[in-house]
Amino acid sequence: MDTTEGPLEDWFLLMDPEWRPSSADEEPPAESVVGLWPVTEGAIGKFRPNPDYVPFDANSPSDPLDAVLRLARLGRAETWHLQLMLRDTLCDVAMRDEDNALVASSPDEVPCAVVATAHQHRARIKAPGWRRVDLIGLAELLSDGVDVLFNPGAATSVRLTGDFVRETTLLEDGDFGAPDDIEGIEELRILRWEPGVPATPDLGGRAE
């Protein structure tokens, strides 16, 4: 099942905070790139996780959505932080067949669609296929009474209700707080990557 999008021309890279270039012109290795935001005609698209990313620290978040989910579990993130990240991130949904999401029971025995926020979480999940979706695409795959289980099997796995996901699709930019309210934002390392650079990361998504 191929959900890869078209070629990218320009993007912002999100780097692992532990990576440091040895020179000003050093190209970041693919395994140090957390993911990217595509840029099209000056507009920044939704975050795409890098399937080749390997965290320097095994306990580090795999991607920005995973990071916010972890903070939410600890009570260190506001609801709007999570909703904003859900809206602006692409994630992978386990699919039973071409049209239907795979539904499994959460640890508290609630039927859930299974979602991986990054490729490394997919390795723990047996699924016939995967579909990369945005928040609206995720909501469209949810049947009534089905919640969403993010990164099952991970120590930081989180279940969100289907109603919460659907309500988040209705929010507009003015419904969110100020970006400088997000804890730890000063630690992000984002690089601008220009067209024509030979080493182009393949972050469009992979299908099994």
CA distance 112 to 118: 18
Given a cut of 50, is residue 93 above it in pLDDT?
yes
More confident: 105 or 17: 105
Q: Averaged over 18-30, what is the pLDDT?
A: 85
Domain count, the chain: 1
The string of DSSP codes covering the chain is: --------S-EEEEEPTT---SSTTPPPPGGGEEEEEEEETTEE--BEE-TT---SSTTS-SSHHHHHHHHHHTT-S-HHHHHHHHHTB-EEEEESSSSSB-EEE-TTS-EEEEEESSHHHHTT---SEEEEE-HHHHHHHPPTT-EEEESTTSTT-EEE-HHHHHHHTT--GGGS--GGGSTTGGG--EEEE-TT-S-----S----
Domain for residue 110, yes or no? yes
Q: How confident is the model at residue 54 (pLDDT cuts 50, 70, 90)?
A: confident
- Over pLDDT 90: what percentage of the chain? 57
84-89 long-range CB contacts below 8 Å, 24 or more apart?
A: 84/176, 86/135, 86/165, 86/168, 87/134, 87/135, 87/168, 87/169, 87/171, 88/46, 88/47, 89/46, 89/47, 89/63, 89/64, 89/65, 89/117, 89/134, 89/135
Q: How confident is the model at residue 87 (pLDDT cuts 50, 70, 90)?
A: very high
Domain for residue 203, yes or no? no
**pTM of this prediction exceeds 0.85:** no
Given a cut of 90, is residue 180 above it in pLDDT?
no
Domain for residue 141, yes or no? yes
113-153 per-position pLDDT tens digit? 999 999 999 999 999 999 999 999 999 999 999 999 999 99
Q: What angle, rounded to 10 degrees, do the helices at 64-73 and 79-87 form?
A: 160
Predicted local distance difference test score (pLDDT) of residue 202: 38
Domain for residue 202, yes or no? no
Q: How confident is the model at residue 177 (pLDDT cuts 50, 70, 90)?
A: low
CB 135 within 8 A of CB 47: no
Range of the domain at 75: 11-176+189-193
Q: How confident is the model at residue 63 (pLDDT cuts 50, 70, 90)?
A: very high
Predicted local distance difference test score (pLDDT) of residue 40: 86
Domain for residue 182, yes or no? no
2-22 per-position pLDDT tens digit? 333 445 568 888 998 888 888
Domain for residue 2, yes or no? no
Domain for residue 207, yes or no? no
Predicted local distance difference test score (pLDDT) of residue 81: 92
Lowest mean pLDDT among 16-30, 58-72, 178-192: 178-192
| Residue 133 neighbours by CB distance under 10 Å | 18
Predicted local distance difference test score (pLDDT) of residue 106: 95
Domain for residue 200, yes or no? no
CA distance 35 to 31: 10
Predicted local distance difference test score (pLDDT) of residue 9: 62
